[in-house]
A and B are shown apart, each in its own frame.
Chain A
Amino acid sequence: KNEVEQSPQNLTAQEGEFITINCSYSVGISALHWLQQHPGGGIVSLFMLSSGKKKHGRLIATINIQEKHSSLHITASHPRDSAVYICAVKEGGSEKLVFGKGTKLTVNP
């Protein structure tokens, strides 16, 4: 069993829809990252959080430490949001990240 599980693996949405991607982890962590990877490989860090909720534009990330679960929400989705979204957890005291397999999001116009 992977230490970091993401769901769904693939997600197709229509432009404007509300998107939720889930991440569950089984290890103790100091922080959780949500990353975005576009075709071509470049990775952008969207959020790093260890508690509560963060918002940046149309993106919202939440984490529940007790339940070891995080969600990434995209409001008013747009075709440019099409990418792979990766959840990664950071072990305490280290920069080592353990990654989920990613969620491939396709937003159709």
Chain B
Amino acid sequence: GAGVSQSPSNKVTEKGKDVELRCDPISGHTALYWYRQSLGQGLEFLIYFQGNSAPDKSGLPSDRFSAERTGGSVSTLTIQRTQQEDSAVYLCASVPSASGRVYEQYFGPGTRLTVT
């Protein structure tokens, strides 16, 4: 079946512009994570959605970052007034059950964001 998809796969934007990154989780998966990986850095947790609960936003690095998950499915990560340090690969992962078992975390291919 279809896996987690993300779009665009690559995005180049000018400093100061807003960008939206999209994640389509596997249908029926209840939890969704956003991560980012900057060059040479480990994976950084950004935000976590679980069902209808309030999202865990503890990983968002600044108030320029926000994310929504509409209808418990598609998620959009928005970065306003992009900065060069926002350049990274942004990964989305979905999980099929409320247990959040890590081995069931399905990752999308990522969006490579480059801010010039």
Q: Do A and B come from one complex?
A: no
Binding site for A on B (CB under 8 A): none
